[in-house]
Structure 1
Amino acid sequence: MSGELTPERREAIREAEHAVMGVLLHEGVKDLVPDLVDALSGADFYDPRNGELWELMCSMWAAGAEACDPVTVTAELTRRGDLERLGGRVFLHELYDSVPSPAMALAYAEIVAEESRWRALAAAGTRTVLAAGRREGSAVEAAERAVEEARQVRDRGVSALDTPPLDLLDLLAQADDTPDWVIPGVLARWDRLMVTGPEGGGKSLLLRQILMRAVAGLHPWKRARIAPVRGLLVDAENSAGQARPWLRTMAAAAAAEGAEIGRGQLTTEIRPGGLDLTQPADRAWLLRLVERVRPDVIAIGPLYKLHAPRSGEAAEDSARALMTALEAVRVASDGAALLIEAHSPHAAPGVKRRDMRPIGSSLWLRWPEYGFGLAPADGEGSQELRLMDWVPWRGPRSERDWPEQMCQGATWPWQAIQYAGNAPVLGITLTEEQVAAAGIQVPEQREFWDDRQLT
């Protein structure tokens, strides 16, 4: 090994090595093993004993062992006479407990692999410096050796995974991918929808409506049935007392349409104090929750309550850290569609319509697949209807079935409006009989959902 490591860096490497080894001791990770074997070899570990243990556990999985856990690995090491040399029984149980989230195994492996590449690069540099000092061969030959060794570090462990270059004609001959729909025509797996607007503009109610109707098996803004999905609501702003009435009323509205939400369809987490997903504890908590629930769609936010900026931290650094955490959530959920609420800036002096882009780093403009703002519409009667334009602030990556406007609903917070010529066509409606049977509180005219005090 070349180069001195600080105690802090050595500890970070130790944590990553223990975490990735610990993953192999958990059940249900067999599908991850091929990718982990491709990502790491025993030689990549800073501690050679960890490398030996890694190779043993990988071989046990490859051999089709019924279990690879602290008990079975202890038995195998005992049979080989290597148990104490490679850490002992207690060490194996500590490895098992050191895993924040098995879903993040490849991230842990990348930390270990990156440190291995740095060590290899340092060793290559040391050999080049020694050759230059000894004047071994010609300078050109020494430079060529240095370039080749650096190239080997660059390609180490990954060049074999490169796919052959794809010719244009072969690309065009392939069939187009069919979206894996969560909500047909609206959201597919791995999609990210971010909705912005002013404070009290109804964006959180809209995202809850999309989520609640999806788990009930209803299209978000049409009177149409879809396959019910599993949902997760993470409210980082409102208290349970504030959130419960709206959710109760929406559940009643779904039941009135013959689509009652069953147990296990929607999991709720109310965190009015906010979260900091850039910190290990909060991030690990959410990843564990997602791994248990396995949702198809997640509504989370608002964005500013998911991260506590540090003093002097740049907006771009804050955004990147939070994006990384949210990407980890998507991976842990195996591609759940994300519904994210964010605030838009205040209107500039003299500007009639405020900017709908999310507050913070401009990186957020490029991150989601779909970004829209709820902006008050102009024109006669707009205020009475609470007519809102559905304003895109991010160019869509593919066409979806979005409305053009939203207006205040009765049985649901929002009704979508799509235009057929000049005539608006409203989306969700219920009969008076359905409303009465469900006991839904319908607001009087000009009394908006989020102005009402539900009990």
Structure 2
Amino acid sequence: MSAEAEAAVIGAALLSPGSLALVADHITADDFQDVALGRGYALLQQMRAAGDKIDPITFVDRAAAEGIRGLPHERVHQIFASTPTAANADYYAQIVADAATKRRLVVAGQRLAQIGSSEIDATQAMTAAREVMAGVSTKPTGGLQAPTLGHLLEGSDEYDWLIPGLLERRDRLVLTGGEGAGKSTWVRQIVLASAAGVHPVTFEQIEPVRCLVVDAENSEKQWRRKAGYIARHAARRGSVDPADTVHIACVARLDITTDRDLSAVHRLVDEHDPQMLAIGPLYKLVPRAITSDDDAAPLIDALDSLRARGLALVMEAHAGHAQTGDGERNLRPRGSAALLGWPEFGMGLRAVSGDPAAVDLVRWRGDRDERSWPARLRRGTTSGWPWVSDDTTSGTWTPSGAHEKWS
């Protein structure tokens, strides 16, 4: 699998040179087992840093000029044609990095055996062994590149929408709310409407979104009771029946900070190839309460490994019981402060005083980008959807410095 991933890293760079910035955080040329691909990767990073045009033809020409063997025109174009998408470049790079670490472990094991059978005393042997293992675990930094601002500005800044105006690939949305506030229903509407090809706020037609749900709180029976009517309505309004395309894994509890459970989720992603993953609630994805940054860090790392595959993440979290200065419940997620700055969008559902059918969508962190999330939702309408926007600004989205409108 690592050989295919090495080729896919190169192919992703040829499809979208911007992916080179993403994979540089994970790998260097030394991580490639295929020497030609490793040298080709180093060349691509050099070309990117210099602001050179990157495509299969320019790459082959430069590789030949640099005397790199093993990258003929036919092979490079086969790699380019067989790479499915550049969106998963991070994931390909992680496979390459993992395989490189295992190869270094083999070498380290041989060196440790030599140290163990040598004539040096135990103290010296332990010191030497620690140095060997430190060499295995140290993350290479040779991939760090700093292209010019001009080169960055020449790249595309187009949005890679899944839900126009709301979510694009790799976005992270964390929704909170008090018990019974309706956040689970709102998540189901986002998933099932978008899967049917319906915008979950404006209810206009969009491209259907491939969705995977990993629910660590609700059972299959609860999904049948709570989601059936939404799915049927979405099927009538959309171009696709979400009952046929949305895949749901209901589990009693996960610990995605372990290799076993995280690998199980990655296998689901391999099998169903989703564009959006709804997973949570967060407190059910770890074995104990999240009370510190040390508790949150492995959870964040695990979720980011899924995001690195090009997925948008939609997650639920429970709000704490503390109150704000004006006596309202604080809607920030329970636990570590690290969770506050992590997602692109963090918002909670707060009941509107005197109006039991409405909730305000309150930001507990500033949005990282301008989007058209509604300010208020209303339930129990005759539209057939459990939640509808009660905000006149929904449906219009204008990015900073531009004047575009989607509707």
The two structures share one fold, judged by TM-score above 0.5:
yes
The number of aligned residues is 308
Q: Distance in 1 between matches of 2:242 and 2:329?
A: 40
Shift of residue 229 of structure 1?
A: 1.3
CA distance in structure 1 between the partners assigned to 2:361 and 2:238 by the alignment: 29
User: Partners of 2:165 and 2:301 in 1: how far apart?
Assistant: 27
Deviations 1:34-81 (A, max 9, x none): 876724267xxxxxxxxxxxxxxxx9999959x9xxxxxxxxxxxxxx
Q: CA deviation at 1:416?
A: 1.2
Cα pair 1:387 1:406 within 8 Å, conserved: yes
- Counterpart CA distance in 1 for 2:312 and 2:325 is 38
Residue 287 of structure 2, aligned match among 308, 321, 326 = 308
The aligned amino acid for 1:406 is L
Gaps of 5+ in 1: 1-21, 43-58, 68-100, 120-152, 427-455
Aligned sequence identity (%)? 35
Shift of 1:178: 0.7
SS in 1 for 2:391: strand
Residue of structure 1 equivalent to 2:405: none
Matches within 5 A, 1:53-68: none
Letter in structure 2 aligned against 1:405: R
Offset, 1:247 = 1.9
CA-based RMSD: 4.0
1:340 to 2:309 alignment: no
Which residue matches 1:416?
389
- Alignment partner of 1:40 is 2:31: yes
Partner residue, 1:274: 253
**Per-residue CA distance 1:136-161 (angstroms, 9 max, x = gap):** xxxxxxxxxxxxxxxxx9x99654x4
Query: Paired residue for 2:159, among 160, 174, 179?
Result: 179
**Partners in 1 of 2:310 and 2:359 — Cα distance?**
30
Contact 2:257-2:299 within 8 A present in 1 as well: yes
In the alignment, does 2:203 pair up with 1:223? yes
- Residue identity in the other structure for 1:30: A
Q: Letter of the aligned partner of 1:248 in structure 2?
A: G
Which letter maps to 2:344? E
Aligned residue type for 1:373: G
1:317 matched to 2:294? The reply is: yes
CA contact (8 A) 1:232 1:298 kept: yes
Distance 1:158 1:61, change over 3 A: farther
Partner AA of 2:371 in structure 1: R
Aligned-pair CA distance for 1:205:
0.9
Displacement after TM superposition at 1:412 (Å): 2.0
Q: Shift of residue 262 of structure 1?
A: 5.4
1:329 aligned residue (306, 314, 317) = 306
Q: CA deviation at 1:409?
A: 3.3
CA contact (8 A) 1:232 1:295 kept: yes
TM-score, scaled relative to structure 1 = 0.59
1:372 alignment partner in structure 2: 347
Pairing partner for 1:387 from 358, 378, 385: 358
Can you list the C-alpha shifts for 1:146-189, whole angstroms capped at 9, x where unaligned? xxxxxxx9x99654x4435525xx26853660110000111000
The 1-side partners of 2:71 and 2:315 are apart by 38
Q: 1:281 to 1:165 in 2, by over 3 A?
A: closer
Q: Deviations over 1:227-274 (max 9, x none)?
A: 111101111101111111222111111133254415652111111x11
Q: Distance in 1 between matches of 2:321 and 2:140?
A: 50
Structure 2 CA distance for partners of 1:156 and 1:103, relative to 1, 3 Å: closer
Matched letter for residue 255 of structure 2: D
Structure 1 position 403 matched with structure 2 position 374: yes
Given that 1:38 and 1:157 are in contact with CA atoms closer than 8 Å, whether structure 2 keeps it comes out as no
Q: What CA distance in whole angstroms lies between the structure 2 residues aligned with 1:279 and 1:182?
A: 30
Residue 265 (structure 2) aligns with: 286
Aligned counterparts, 1:49-88, within 5 A: none
Q: Secondary structure at the match of 2:361?
A: strand
Residues 1:362 and 2:337 are matched in the alignment: yes
Q: Which runs of 5+ in 2 are unaligned?
A: 12-22, 34-68, 79-90, 110-135, 396-407
Match for 1:166 among 111, 127, 148? 148
The verdict on how the C-alpha distance between 1:230 and 1:163 changes in structure 2, with shifts beyond 3 A counting, is same
Aligned partners of 1:107, 1:315: CA distance in 2, in Å? Answer: 29
- For 1:28 and 1:360, the matched residues in 2 are separated by 37
User: 1:198 is matched by which residue type in structure 2?
Assistant: G
Structure-to-structure mapping, 1:119-130, within 5 angstroms: none
